[in-house]
Amino acid sequence: METPNSTGDRIAQYLKDGKRFDGRKPGEFREIFVETGVSKKAEGSARVRIGKTEVIVGVKMDVGAPYPDSPNKGNLMVTSELLPLSSSRFESGPPKFPAIELGRLVDRGIREGKFVDFKKLCIKEGEKVWTVFVDIYTINHDGNLLDAAAIGALVALKTAKIPKYDGETGKVIYGEYGDEMMPVSKEIPIVTTVHRIGDSILVDPTLEEEDISEARVTIGGSCEGKVFSMQKGDSGDLSIEEMHKILELSENVRKEVFSKIDKFFK
């Protein structure tokens, strides 16, 4: 169900006083819960809950040909499915724009943040490299699927083991693993989204808040203050001052989010 106007107006009114329905401050996240090993068949997987929002992310790997412009690097494919089971708003069928956007934003967060060392995923230059598939599935949609998916992708990749590969037959032996783990960097690129509703700037919206959001900026960056990827969404505009505020809030939020998932990266 869409959020009724009366509810939307009240959310906006509350925000003017810096208040939200669930008692959070505008710059505050809901409780983040992360669990790994969701599927034993996956090379790595994670479940992320942010409040009532839940996604599962799995990593599968296969050996294939490299792209001509990167003969010595492995490939990355991030896709997402907004499952009809997770919300009455999602329908089955070919992916529509929101699913494509979710996949691409997570993809660029990982790629631009240089989280995976793709050079280490080269088996034979120009011929055989690992392709890493990161697949995102929504389980329950209560706003901010994107930030949840981005966290899930990081943790799933971090915990992924590389399956054995038989160089003679050219086949991957799924289910058998050596000691090789996914080569990931120490610097963790966190992707978070900041929204503007009226004159208020907030993070981690619930579904109702997301419905009345006028503009949003998704920013991927490190806890050390670097920004790697950014994209503005929705048809509202922003002043330059608002953009400055968004950049600063985003940097703080990255640190907060990382502090909740850092146990997976030790």
Binding residues for other proteins, rule: CB under 8 A, are 68, 97, 100-101, 103-104, 108, 112, 217, 225-240, 242-244, 247-248, 251
Least Å from the CB of residue 10 to other proteins: 19
For 248, the enclosing helix (H) or strand (E) is helix 240-261
Residue number with CB closer to other proteins (34 or 212): 212
Rounded Cα distance between 121 and 128, Å, is 9
Provide the token pair at 121.
Answer: 């995923």
| Shortest separation between residue 115's beta carbon and other proteins, angstroms | 13
Q: Which of 156, 132, 157, 160 is nearest to 63 (CA)?
A: 132
Beta carbon nearer to other proteins, 25 or 226: 226
CB of 5 to other proteins, least distance (A): 10
Provide, rounded to whole angstroms, the least separation between the CB of residue 157 and other proteins: 19
- The three-state secondary structure class of 134 is strand
Buried b (16+ CB within 10 A) or exposed e, 83-115: beebbeebeeeeeeeebebbbbbbbbbbbbbeb
> How many angstroms separate the CA atoms of 220 and 231, rounded?
9
In the complex, what is the shortest distance from the CB of residue 94 to other proteins, in angstroms, rounded to a whole number?
11
CB of 217 to other proteins, least distance (A): 7
- Spatial contact of 173 and 166, defined as CB atoms under 8 Å apart: yes
Measured from the CB atom, the residue of 111 and 158 that comes closer to other proteins is 111
Residue closer to other proteins, measured from CB, 85 or 100: 100
CB-nearer residue toward other proteins: 22 or 224: 224
Q: Look-up: residue for tokens 């640190």?
A: 255
Our CB check for other proteins shows the closer of 80 and 159 to be 80
Burial of 220 (0-12, 13-18, 19+ CB in 10 A): buried
CB nearer to other proteins: pick between 23 and 94: 94
Q: In angstroms, what is the minimal distance from the CB of 42 to other proteins?
A: 23
Q: Which helix (H) or strand (E) holds 262?
A: none
Report which DSSP code applies to 201.
Answer: E
DSSP-derived letter for residue 118 is G
Rounded CA gap, 189 and 227, in Å?
9
Q: Specify whether the CB–CB gap between 57 and 48 falls below 8 A.
A: yes
